[in-house]
Amino acid sequence: MSQPPPYGTTFGRARRQEAYRRLADLVRRRKPRPLLPLDEVTKRLRVFEQSYVGIRPIPVSRVVGTVSRIDDFDRDFLPKRTKIQERWRKVERSYPEGDFPPIVVYELDGSYFVVDGHHRVAIAKQLGVEHIDAEITQFRSRYRLPPGADLSRIIMDEQERRFMEESGLERARPEARIEFSRPQGYIELLEHLKIHGFHLMMERGQVLPIEQIAADWYDRVYVPTGEAIHREGLHELWPKATDADLFLWVGQRRRELFPEHDELDLEDGVRAARDAGPDPDRGKRR
C-alpha cells in the first residue's frame, strides 16, 4: 500500500476535487451524479428477498449508494459539506494506515450501498485503497441494477417497464424497444395507445384484449410513423430526440396543424410537422 498523506490533508483535497467537479458540471451542463438512494432503488427494482452474506472484502469502486447520507457525499464519495470535516478527520486519525474495521453494506447486483462507514469509504478512495472489508446483506430484485446507472436512468427504465406491462405491448410485441429522453413520455404514449384502442373497438364494434390493441397500434401506427420520421430526416434536424420523442411531437403537431384531417397521409403529416417546427428539444434545454 502506498504511504498515506499526512494527517489533515485528505479532507481539504477531497473538498477541492468536489468543487472542481461541480464547476466542470456547470460549465459542461452536465447533471450532478449523487449517490444512489437505497430506498428509491429497491422500490423501483422491486426487491423481494434479502440474505445475510457475512464479512468479505469488496471493491471500493463498486460502492455507489447510501441508506441515509445522500446530502453529505457525491457519487465518488467526495464531501459536499464542510460540516462532516470533524468526523472525517477523527476517522482519518484513528486509522492512518487505512486498516479500517468493516463497513456495513447492502449488495445488489454487485453494487454496494453503505449503511455504516461512509467516511471510511471516502477516505479509502482518497488513499487509493482498492478493497475494504464489509459486512454484507444481499438483496435480490425482480429487475437488475445496470452497472453505472444513475437514478434518472433507473426511473426511466422503470417507466418503460410499466408502459410495456400496462399497455400489453410486452406480451404482444416483446421485442419492441421504446425509449424517451424524459420519463413523462411513457405516460403520454400510454394515453395515445388507449385512444387508439377506443377508436379501434368502436370501428370493429367489439371489446378487444389489450394485447390485440397494442399489436395493432405498434404495427399500424408506431412503426410506420418511425419509418416516416427516418425517411424525412427528422433525426438530422433534432439529433437529441429519440424516435419516441419525435413520434409524440409529430402527433402533436399534426393535431395542431390539421385538427379535422385524421385521414391525412402519414408521410405528408410527418413532412408538415417537420416543416412547421418548433424544435422538440427546446423544452429540455431550458
pLDDT in tens, 194-206: 999 999 999 999 9
Q: Indicate if 177 and 272 belong to the same structural domain.
A: yes
Q: Is the pLDDT of residue 260 over 60?
A: no
Of 115, 141, 167, the residue that ends a domain is 141
Is residue 3 in a domain? no
Is residue 261 in a domain? yes
Looking at residue 279, what is its pLDDT?
Answer: 55
Q: Indicate if 166 and 217 belong to the same structural domain.
A: yes
Domain count across the chain: 2
pLDDT band at 162 (very low <50, low <70, confident <90, very high): very high
**What's the average model confidence in pLDDT over 59-68?**
95
DSSP at 220: I
* Tens-place pLDDT, residues 50-63: 999 999 999 999 99
DSSP at 219: I
Looking at residue 46, what is its pLDDT?
Answer: 92
pLDDT band at 272 (very low <50, low <70, confident <90, very high): confident
Looking at residue 24, what is its pLDDT?
Answer: 87
Q: Hey, is 177 helix, strand or coil?
A: coil
pLDDT band at 80 (very low <50, low <70, confident <90, very high): very high
- The long-range contacts involving 228-231, CB below 8 angstroms and separated by at least 24 positions, are 228/266, 228/267, 228/270, 229/270, 231/267, 231/270
Q: Indicate if 169 and 247 belong to the same structural domain.
A: yes
Of 116, 141, 166, the residue that ends a domain is 141
148 or 174, which is more confident?
Answer: 174
Of 119, 141, 163, the residue that ends a domain is 141
Q: Indicate if 65 and 157 belong to the same structural domain.
A: no
Q: Indicate if 245 and 170 belong to the same structural domain.
A: yes
Mean per-residue pLDDT of the chain: 88
Q: Indicate if 33 and 92 belong to the same structural domain.
A: yes
Is residue 5 in a domain? no
Q: Indicate if 185 and 207 belong to the same structural domain.
A: yes
H/E stretch holding 105 reads: strand 103-108
How far is 144 from 136, CA to CA, in rounded Å? 18
Q: Indicate if 137 and 159 belong to the same structural domain.
A: no
Structural domain including 127 reads: 10-141
